[in-house]
Amino acid sequence: MSVSTPPVAATLGLRDQARSQRRVGVRVVAALPLVALVLLLPAHNGYASISAYAAIFVMVGLSMNVLTGYTGQISLGHQAFVGLGALTTANLINTGTTAADPFMFAVGMVMSAAASGAAALLLGAVALRIRGLYLALVTLVFGSVFADAIFTLPSLNGEDAGVKAYRPTFISSDYRFYLFALAMVAVCFYVDICVRRTKIGRGLVALRDNELVASAFGVNVLGYKLLGFTISGAIAGLAGGVFAFWTQQFSDKDFTAAAGFNMALTFVVMVVVGGLANRVGVMAAAVFFALVSPISPLMAAIAQHTGWLNFYTDHKFYISNLIGAVLLLQTVILNPGGLGQVLRPFARWFAGHPFSLHDPDGGSGVGAMEGSSVRA
Amino acid sequence: MSVLEVRDLTIRFGGLTAIDGLNLKVDEWEIVGLMGPNGAGKTTAFNCITGFYKPSHGQVFYKGDDVTKLPPHRKAALGIGRTFQNVGMVKSETVLENLLTAQHTKTGYGALQGIAGSGAVRAREKELASRAEAILELLGLGEFRDRRLGALSYGTLKLLELGCALASDPDLLLLDEPSSGMGPEESHQLGDRLLALRKELGVTMLLIEHHVPLVTAVCDYVYVLNFGKLLAEGDPDHVRNHPEVVAAYLGGEAPEELAETEVPDDQQALAEATS
C-alpha cells in the first residue's frame, strides 16, 4: 500500500509539466465517452426513467458519504429523510391534476432539503450521546417510527391515495426530468467537494478518527457531529424532493414498513460497497444499485434474454438484496476499500496524476476502514 | 501577568484523588517542566488545563481569565495548543491534511461559507496550505507531505505532532512527553528546537518530560508531582538534587524530616530517571 514514491510536484520538471499539459487533452478525450453515456443514453425512451432513478440514488449515496464516510456515524433510517423530503415538497405543491408552478417547484425543492436537514439535526442530537450498536439501533427505530407515524397521517398522504406532484411543464418529459435530476446531482457533488476540501470535512474526518484529537485541534466535536447529520439529511431530503417528482406523487408506502427498511439497508450497503469516504466509488455503487433495483428495466431485459423472466418477476424484490449481500461480503472480506479503491487509479488519472495502479498515498477508502471509522 | 495559572486544582475519580491542590504558574516566554513518576497525575493535570477533564475543585487561569469550565475546542481557539502522550493526530489523513486540520481555528471562515465554497474560502485554503508547507520545511518533513501517518516512524510522528501544535499558532503549548521514543541524540536536537521555537515564535511552554538532560537544558522552572501532590518546585538543578525528588524517582529512603512521602515501586520511572 505504501510505496515510497516522491510527491508528484517535486518530481515534475519543466518538461514533465509540458507533457502533463498535453495529457490534459488525452484525459478530455478519454472522458468524452463517459459524458456521452451519461447524457445521451438516457435520451433513449426506455432508459430515461431508470436513469433519473439512478441519479436520485447517487444523491442519497453522497448523503450517506457525508454521514458514514466522513463523519463516521451510521444511519439505518435514511429512508425517513428521503421520505420526509418527498412528503414536504409534495404537500407544499399539491398539484392536483395540473403541472407544478415552476416557482413553487423551486420552493418545494429547497424546503425538502430544509425539512430533512432539520429532522437529521434532531436525530443527530440523540446520536451525540450514543455510538456503535446503540446508535445503529436508534437510527433504525427512528427511521421506521418516523416514517410509519408521520408519513401515514391521512392529512399528509392525501387520505391514503397519495399526494400528486406533477412535474412542471419545462421538465415534463422523462429525459428532461433526468437532466434536471443530473443538475441536482451536480449540486450535491459540488457540496461534497466543498465539504471535503475545507475545514468542514477535515473537522468531520478528525472527529471520526479520534474525538479527543479533534477537539484538541479546536474542532467543536458536538457541533460538527450535528453539522454532519444536518448536511447528510439535507442532501437526502433534496433527493426525496426529486423522488416525489420522479413518481409524480408522494405515497407513504414507498417509505414505510418493509419497503422503507429495504431502502435504508440498500443505502448503507451501497456506501460500504462503494468505499467509505470515497466519493467516486459511492456514486458508482449508487448507480449500480439503482440499475439492479426491482424496478429496473435493465434487469428485466437481462432476465428475458437469458430465459429467466418468470423466475425474475417472481423474485425481483429479493434479487437486488441478494446481489447487495454478496457484494457486501466480498467488500468486507476481500476489498475493504470498496469499489472506490478499484476505480481510484482511474479517478486519480482523471484528476491529473500519472496513471499508477499502486497508489502512493494509500487510498482514503482503506485508510477510512483502518481508522475503524464506522462505529457500528 | 502569567500566561497560565493553576490554583488549588483538585480532581477526584470516585475515591481516588488524582490531583490534590496543585498550584502552578507559567509566565510569558517561560519553558516550564512538569515531572513526576508514572501515575503522579501529570497527564491528568494537562487534561484539566485543556478542558478534557472537569476539575472537582480549583481554577485554571489563562492570561488572567478564568477558563476552568471552557470545553477543549474553545481553549484551543484561545491559543492553548497541546500534544498527546501517544501521538494525537488524524490517522487516516496525510501529513499535509493533518497540518491543515490543525489550523482549524485559524481558518477565518464559517461552516456555511465552507459548504458554499466561495472564492474567498479557496483563497484562504491556499494560504493555509502554504503555511502548512512552511511548517513542513521548518521541521524538515517536506518529503513526507503526501504520506499517510501509518507509513511514518514514531519519531517522525512526534515531530509532526509538534508541527501540528505549532500550526494553530498557540500562545501556550502543552507538550506531553515530546521526547518519548527518541534516542539521546534526537532528544538533544529536540531541546535545541524547543529553544529555537521560543526564540522565533515566542511560544510559552509547559512540558511533561522524564528525560532529565532535556529538562535541564530547556526548562526555566520545574514542578515535580508525586501521587497528585506537588513534591517540589524550583529551577532544574535545585529540583534534581532535591532529596524527596530523588527518593520518589529512585526509591529508597527520604531524609527523616521529609519521610512522609510514600515511595513508589516503579521500575519504569527508575529506568527513565536514570537514562
Domain encompassing residue A189: 48-259
Contact between residue B44 and residue B174 where contact means Cβ atoms under 8 Å apart: no
Residues ≥6 apart with Cβ < 8 Å to A124? A225, A226, A228, A229, A230
A351 inside 8 A of chain B by CB: no
> What was the pLDDT predicted at B239?
87
Q: Using CA atoms, how far apart are residues A281 and A275, in angstroms rounded to an integer?
A: 6
CA angle A121, A126, A127 (to 5 degrees): 90
Q: Do B76 and A205 touch (CB under 8 A)?
A: no
Contact between residue B172 and residue B81 where contact means Cβ atoms under 8 Å apart: yes
> What was the pLDDT predicted at B264?
47
**Mean of all residue pLDDT scores within chain B:** 87
Chain B stretch 20-39, residues whose beta carbon is closer than 8 A to a beta carbon of chain A: none
> What was the pLDDT predicted at A375?
35
**pLDDT winner (highest mean) among A293-297, B125-129, B180-184:** B125-129
Q: Check whether residue A88 and residue A201 sit in a common domain.
A: yes
Give the residue from A205, A225, A259 where a domain finishes.
A259
B233 in helix, strand or coil? Answer: strand
- Give the long-range contacts of residues B58-62, CB within 8 A, separation 24 or more: B58/B6, B58/B7, B58/B8, B58/B9, B58/B10, B58/B21, B58/B22, B59/B6, B59/B7, B59/B8, B59/B9, B60/B4, B60/B5, B60/B6, B60/B7, B60/B9, B61/B2, B61/B4, B61/B5, B61/B6, B61/B7, B62/B3, B62/B4, B62/B172
Is residue A195 included in any domain, yes or no?
yes
Per-residue confidence at B87, pLDDT binned at 50, 70, 90?
confident
How do residues B25-64 score in pLDDT, each as one tens digit? 999 999 999 998 888 899 999 999 999 999 999 999 999 9
Q: Check whether residue A105 and residue A141 sit in a common domain.
A: yes
Q: Using CA atoms, how far apart are residues A205 and A214, in angstroms rounded to an integer?
A: 9
**For chain A, first and last CA: distance in Å?**
26
- Cβ atoms < 10 Å from Cβ of A107: 14
With a cut of 60, say whether residue B266 has pLDDT above it: no
How do residues B93-126 score in pLDDT, each as one tens digit? 999 999 999 999 999 898 889 998 888 999 999 9
Handedness of CA B193, B199, B200, B206 (dihedral sign): positive
Is residue A329 included in any domain, yes or no?
no
Q: Check whether residue A114 and residue A94 sit in a common domain.
A: yes
Is residue A88 included in any domain, yes or no?
yes
> What was the pLDDT predicted at A42?
85
Q: Which residues of chain A have a CB within 8 Å of the CB of B146?
A: 7-8, 360-361
Contact between residue A206 and residue A79 where contact means Cβ atoms under 8 Å apart: no
Give the residue from A225, A243, A259 where a domain finishes.
A259
B112 inside 8 A of chain A by CB: no
Q: Check whether residue A26 and residue A173 sit in a common domain.
A: no
Domain count, chain A: 2
Chain A stretch 227-246, residues whose beta carbon is closer than 8 A to a beta carbon of chain B: 227, 231
Give the residue from A240, A259, A278 where a domain finishes.
A259
Is residue A53 included in any domain, yes or no?
yes
Q: Using CA atoms, how far apart are residues B194 and B200, in angstroms rounded to an integer?
A: 10
Q: Check whether residue A139 and residue A199 sit in a common domain.
A: yes
**Mean of all residue pLDDT scores within chain A:** 87
Contact between residue A222 and residue A91 where contact means Cβ atoms under 8 Å apart: no
How do residues A218-254 score in pLDDT, each as one tens digit? 999 999 999 999 999 999 999 999 999 999 999 999 9
State the number of CA atoms in the 13 A half-sphere of A177 facing the CB. Answer: 26
Q: Which residues of chain B have a CB within 8 Å of the CB of A11?
A: none
Across A47-58, b (16+ Cβ under 10 Å) vs e yields bbbbbbbbbbbb
Q: Check whether residue A132 and residue A26 sit in a common domain.
A: no
Q: Using CA atoms, how far apart are residues A216 and B80, in angstroms rounded to an integer?
A: 9
> What was the pLDDT predicted at A315?
86
A206 inside 8 A of chain B by CB: yes
* DSSP 8-state secondary structure symbol assigned to residue B185: H
Q: Give me the residue from B90, B116, B125 closest to A197, CB to CB.
A: B125
Beta strand pairing status for B31-35 and B16-27? unpaired
Least-confidence region, from A277-286, A353-362, B144-153, B164-173: A353-362
Q: Do B92 and A364 touch (CB under 8 A)?
A: yes
The mean pLDDT of B210-233, rounded to a whole number, is 91
Q: Check whether residue A18 and residue A115 sit in a common domain.
A: no
> What was the pLDDT predicted at A5?
44
**Does the structure's ipTM exceed the value 0.90?**
no
Q: What is the nearest CA distance from B171 to chain A, expressed in angstroms?
A: 14
Query: Rounded to whole angstroms, what are the CA distances from B84 to A71, B11, B88, B160, B177?
Result: 22, 20, 5, 12, 8
Q: Give me the residue from A198, A205, A218 closest to B114, CB to CB.
A: A198
Q: Using CA atoms, how far apart are residues A157 and A159, in angstroms rounded to an integer?
A: 6
With a cut of 70, say whether residue B151 has pLDDT above it: yes
Q: Give me the residue from B88, B114, B150 closest to A210, CB to CB.
A: B88
The mean pLDDT of B142-164, rounded to a whole number, is 89
Is residue A102 included in any domain, yes or no?
yes
Is residue A369 included in any domain, yes or no?
no
Q: Domains of chain B, with CATH numbers?
A: 2-223 (3.40.50.300)
Q: Check whether residue A145 and residue A22 sit in a common domain.
A: no
The mean pLDDT of B235-249, rounded to a whole number, is 85
Per-residue confidence at B76, pLDDT binned at 50, 70, 90?
very high
Q: Check whether residue A57 and residue A206 sit in a common domain.
A: yes
Q: Do B117 and A190 touch (CB under 8 A)?
A: yes
Per-residue confidence at B261, pLDDT binned at 50, 70, 90?
very low
Across B128-140, b (16+ Cβ under 10 Å) vs e yields beebbeebbebbe
| Low-confidence stretches of chain A (pLDDT beneath 70) | 1-22, 359-376
B129 inside 8 A of chain A by CB: no
Q: Check whether residue A80 and residue A211 sit in a common domain.
A: yes
Q: Check whether residue A26 and residue A124 sit in a common domain.
A: no
Is residue A66 included in any domain, yes or no?
yes
Q: Which residues of chain A have a CB within 8 Å of the CB of B109?
A: 198-199
Q: Check whether residue A15 and residue A131 sit in a common domain.
A: no
What is the DSSP annotation of A59-126? HHHHHHIIIIIIS----S-HHHHHHHHHHHHHHHH--TTSPPPHHHHHHHHHHHHHHHHHHHHHHHHH
Is residue A145 included in any domain, yes or no?
yes
B151 inside 8 A of chain A by CB: yes
Per-residue confidence at B245, pLDDT binned at 50, 70, 90?
confident
What residues does B12 pair with on adjacent strands? B17
Query: Rounded to whole angstroms, what are the CA distances from A136 to A71, A78, A84, B98?
Result: 14, 11, 20, 29
